[in-house]
């Protein structure tokens, strides 16, 4: 027997203004970074870390490590 199912995909922009939903699990890493007094700084640092890692992976054509950014 075949049962049909329905699903929804939602996306949220992850930037320094990201605010987790009140329904987010407290253990979600990005949600934890986006809570509290240092939330903007935490998110900026996380985005910088992601950019740095992305550039490190593409080092062969990116000698200054600043060509790529994740948006």
Residues 11-49 have pLDDT tens digits of 777 777 877 777 766 656 777 777 888 888 888 888 888
Nearest to 42 by CA among 66, 19, 65: 19
The pTM of the whole model exceeds 0.75: no
What is the reported pLDDT for 27? 58
Other beta carbons within 10 angstroms of residue 48's beta carbon come to 11
Strands (E), 1-71: none
Nearest to 16 by CA among 51, 62, 66: 51
Task: Say if residue 34 is exposed, middle or buried (CB neighbours under 10 Å; 0-12, 13-18, 19+).
Answer: buried
């Amino acid at each position: 027997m075949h049962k049909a199912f329905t699903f929804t995909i939602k996306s949220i922009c992850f930037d320094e203004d990201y605010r987790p939903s009140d329904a987010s699990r407290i253990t979600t890493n990005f949600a934890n970074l986006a809570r509290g007094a240092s939330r903007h700084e935490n998110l900026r640092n996380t985005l910088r870390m992601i950019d740095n890692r992305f550039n490190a992976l593409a080092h062969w054509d990116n000698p200054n490590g600043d060509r790529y950014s994740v948006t």
